[in-house]
A and B are shown apart, each in its own frame.
Chain A
Amino acid sequence: AQSVAQPEDQVNVAEGNPLTVKCTYSVSGNPYLFWYVQYPNRGLQFLLKYITGDNLVKGSYGFEAEFNKSQTSFHLKKPSALVSDSALYFCAVSLRNSGNTPLVFGKGTRLSVIA
């Protein structure tokens, strides 16, 4: 079964410092991987995805993620954190290796950027 793990419940980082939010996955076949962000009392917003191609994926708001097949990881990164990046971040994998199918989400990581 497809699954994702986010090992950290909380990540704290100082404004201006680089940030990393970790995600590992377990899938059969080639994965479709996603990152979403959720602000308080809001729905989830798509940040970026990996389907195929370049292992480094760039997304919204300066975020990027690196697909590492050997380590089965898809960590989210940003070179310089902003206070406004503070939110709940979810990694997700597609249930089936095609588009437009349900996602399985990790438990989420709360990012806190401190001024």
Chain B
Amino acid sequence: DAMVIQNPRYQVTQFGKPVTLSCSQTLNHNVMYWYQQKSSQAPKLLFHYYDKDFNNEADTPDNFQSRRPNTSFCFLDIRSPGLGDAAMYLCATSGGTTSVGEQYFGPGTRLTVT
């Protein structure tokens, strides 16, 4: 089945220690998104790629970076995680011709910062 995969599902890192979260998709969608979701709050968009075009939200901290080496993969890098960065990180894709506007979400990576 076509899907959005996120690894790892759970990540523990130390305060200030860089961490990378990964997302891959088999849907061949051209748009990929990263959202941050804190304890049952609404997902907050961090950035998205339209093909290779990177779009950063104005209020996304500089501490957060992203890479998309090819259509299938997208990475979220947190350069110096703080305690406030502990959250669920959701990757999503869109771009299907028969599913206009729908986003397909991965299961998320729960990040704990100690």
A interface footprint on B95-114 (CB within 8 Å = 1, 0 otherwise): 10000111111111010000
> How many residue pairs bridge A and B at CB < 8 Å?
62
Q: In the complex, how many residues of chain A place their beta carbon closer than 8 angstroms to a beta carbon of chain B?
A: 26
Query: How distant is A7 from chain B, measured CB to nearest CB, in Å?
Result: 14
Query: How distant is B93 from chain A, measured CB to nearest CB, in Å?
Result: 9
- Please report the C-alpha to C-alpha distance between residue A43 and residue B30 in the assembled complex, in whole angstroms: 20
Q: In the complex, how many residues of chain B place their beta carbon closer than 8 angstroms to a beta carbon of chain A?
A: 27
CB-based nearest B residue for A102: B45
Residue contact B105 to A99, C-beta cutoff 8 Å: no
CB-based nearest B residue for A40: B40
What residues of B have a CB within 8 angstroms of the CB of A100 in the complex?
30-31, 50, 94-95, 100-101
Residue contact A107 to B41, C-beta cutoff 8 Å: yes
- Please report the C-alpha to C-alpha distance between residue A98 and residue B100 in the assembled complex, in whole angstroms: 8
B48 at the interface (CB under 8 A from A): yes
- Please report the C-alpha to C-alpha distance between residue A95 and residue B35 in the assembled complex, in whole angstroms: 15
B43 at the interface (CB under 8 A from A): yes
- Please report the C-alpha to C-alpha distance between residue A49 and residue B104 in the assembled complex, in whole angstroms: 13
What residues of A have a CB within 8 angstroms of the CB of B55 in the complex?
102
A70 at the interface (CB under 8 A from B): no
Residue contact A43 to B4, C-beta cutoff 8 Å: yes
Q: Which A residues form the contact surface with B (CB < 8 A)?
A: 32, 34, 36, 41-46, 49, 51, 88, 90, 94, 98-108, 110
What are 14 A-B pairs with beta-carbon distances under 8 A? Answer: A34-B101, A41-B107, A44-B43, A44-B105, A51-B101, A98-B101, A100-B30, A100-B50, A101-B101, A102-B55, A103-B45, A103-B103, A105-B42, A107-B42
4 A-B pairs besides A43-B6, A43-B90, A44-B90 with CB distance below 8 A are A42-B107, A46-B102, A105-B42, A107-B42
